[in-house]
Structure 1
Amino acid sequence: MLLPNISTFPRQICNSISACKTVERTQQRKLEEELLAAAREGRTAELIALLNRPNPPDVNCSDQLGNTPLHCAAYRAHKQCALKLLKSGADPNLKNKNDQFSIIHAGR
């Protein structure tokens, strides 16, 4: 059995760890995009399923405009989604890039 070149072995491990972290970040971002879409479109059952996963997406993640799932749900008056997000720890005090709170849009 040949042993790996000792001088390159740590670098190979680091590259593998880095690749794993990149994959994990990509998978996490995909879940965040799904959560944002579920909130935006009022798909309550999907939103609940995402938040109940063993490793759920960040409830305060944001899109390119800085809108969180709570912004998306509240702006479109998806009350059940907004309530579930709040119960799951969504921060109603976060502002988007337009300096808007999510709660301002509730009730529209």
Structure 2
Amino acid sequence: MLRIALALALGFAAITIAGTATSVRAEDKKDETKKLEGKLTCTKCALSETDKCGHALLVKKDGKEVKYYLKDKGAKESYHGKCCTADVDATVTGKVVEKDKKLTIEDPKVEIKK
């Protein structure tokens, strides 16, 4: 009887530890900073998706175009004038978050390529 109780206790402990380690790894990936390259565009003027100017990075991935919306100040950003009327090549670094099947880059650092 003691052996069964000990085996059960060790089994539950192993499952608990494995579950904790898995959830920690998943949280680490969410907070990971990524560097993406693509075309920076205006969500109002070029994409006609919003009422106010904002930014999106269009990235080619596996033959498809993926849109990453930037969480920034919109038209007040210093780089807005360069990408409002025409798409520009850019590199954006920030935390990628998926919410409501929409990819967003939080705290974006934008570098316009010349």
Q: Work out whether the TM-score is over 0.5.
A: no
Larger relative helix fraction:
1
When Rg is computed on C-alpha atoms for both structures, the one with the higher figure is 2
* Structure with greater strand share of residues: 2
